[in-house]
Structure 1
Amino acid sequence: MENQLAFLAICLASALSPGPGGLAVVSNSINHNLRRTLPVIFGIATGLMLASLLANTWLLAVIHSSEQAFQIMTWLCSGYIAYLGCKVLYYANSEVTIAAQGYSFKNGVLISLLNPKTLVVFGALFPLFVPSNEYFVVYSVLLTLELVVITLIIHILISSAIDKVSHFLKHHIVLINCITGLLFIGLGIAGFIV
């Protein structure tokens, strides 16, 4: 029971902590309503499920067998997050920003799947909660579902709250786009440093 509560606390902290997925939800929610933000939210959830599948199969083996392979994977993922930040900054003053167009389901999947934080959760923390016995698959599926459901709920609540004040936030959209871009770049750089 203690392990379960600890895992739920980690899921909540992960979903609430600033990261590329949360930034995409916030940015999309400012520019669009909850209904138009749902595709990116479901994309993030799908990306988490794919990351779990990868982590519980070959990714976990790569991480444990080669520190260098894990480092390269982290750099590639960090590079993608930094690229998104550069793209948001490049179009920050334009009428056609990523945020103005809206993040898509595909963006949500990629953001989640290539997020270094996701790699840490599934590659480093997940094995602490999954027993290496005959129940491995059952525990993996259950823990993944818990993480996905908690992330979905948190992102929907955040999007709903922002939807209520988006009219105010739209007046500052260039500044918000610049901050979002810089945060994405900062998260990408952090992945290279850590």
Structure 2
Amino acid sequence: MNIIPLVTYAIIASFTPGPNNIISMTHARNQGFRKTLPFISGVAAGCLLIMFLSSYFNLILHQYIPRITPVLNVLGCVYMLYLALKIMRSKPADAQENKVNHYSFLFGFTLQFINPKVILYGLTAISVFVLPLGQSHVHLIVFSLLLTLIGISANMTWAFGGMLFQSFLLRYERPVNIVMGMLLIYSALSILM
């Protein structure tokens, strides 16, 4: 069983900019790594549930996935473009606003159900890479855990980067936001290619 293509896809898809990664980086930059952990925990729980749902929906809808995927791709692209524009147009954070913890476990968890990147990640990884390797319950659970672990390692890396480069990111907030927005636009457009 060769899982190298699956792991390669999962790493590339997980480490590119997306809502989870950018929020983790920004929140860790503003609040510190430790205060970002509840959000990351919520992201992990939501991501794992999305992976389980993707596994079983793929089994049920296997014959319909080619017709559903283009619609999900367009919706995901539009949402990511909206987030990119919002990030690029954002103004430097207000110091008082930064004292409030907006990013809780519940926010991280519920974000996964409106985050097209995670949904497309799950649907694509399961349908293209996992189902051809096997369709047992144990198989689907193990690969759901693996995909979630890779995704959360990316999320934590972005948060750690936000904390580590805090002074740089605060000093150059506007250009960094523009670069992050451009990377998110690239990620959004790559969904359609």
The aligned counterpart of 1:92 is 91
Give the CA deviation at 1:16.
3.2
Output the amino acid matched with 1:22.
Answer: N
The one-letter code matched in structure 2 to 1:126 is V
C-alpha deviation, 1:59, in angstroms: 4.5
Q: Does 1:65 align with 2:64?
A: yes
TM-score (norm 1): 0.74
Matched, 1:159 2:159: yes
Alignment partner of 1:185 is 2:189: no
Deviation per residue, 1:139-164 (Å, 9 max, x gap):
11111112222333343244234312
The CA deviation at 1:109 is 4.6
Partner Cα separation in structure 2 for residue 60 and residue 20 of structure 1: 27
Amino acid at match of 1:89: M
Q: Paired residue for 1:110?
A: 111
Q: Deviations over 1:17-38 (max 9, x none)?
A: 4444333332333333112322
Residue type of the alignment partner of 1:3: N
User: Gapped runs of 5+ residues in structure 1?
Assistant: none
2:156 partner letter:
I
CA contact (8 A) 2:58 2:123 kept: no
Higher mean alpha-carbon deviation, 3-12 vs 34-43, is at 3-12
Contact 2:84-2:181 within 8 A present in 1 as well? yes
**Alignment correspondent of 1:49:** 48
Q: Distance in 2 between matches of 1:89 and 1:117?
A: 24
Give 1:171 deviation, angstroms. 0.5
- Report the count of equivalent residues: 187
**1:24-66 residue CA offsets vs partner (Å, 9 max, x unmatched):** 3323333331123223322332332232122222355445325
TM-score (norm 2): 0.74
Aligned to 1:40: 39
Asked if the contact 1:49–1:144 (Cα under 8 Å) also holds between the matched residues in 2, the reply is: yes
Paired AA for residue 176 in structure 2:
I
Distance 1:63 1:109, change over 3 A: farther
Change (3 A) 1:182 1:7: closer
Hey, what's the Cα distance between the residues in 2 that align with 1:118 and 1:103?
23
Q: What corresponds to 2:20 in structure 1? A: 21
**Segments ≥4 residues shifted beyond 6 Å:** 98-101
| Shift, 1:104, TM fit | 5.0
Percent identity, aligned pairs only, is 19
Q: Identify if the C-alpha distance between structure 1 residues 40 and 25 changes in structure 2 by more than 3 Å, giving closer, same or farther.
A: same
Contact 1:89 1:181 in 2 (8 A): yes
Contact 1:82-1:185 within 8 A present in 2 as well? yes
Q: Quick one: structure 1 residues 14 and 85, their matched pair in 2 at CA, closer, same or farther if it must change by over 3 Å?
A: closer
Between stretches 4-13 and 171-180, larger displacement belongs to 4-13
Aligned-residue Cα RMSD (Å) equals 3.2
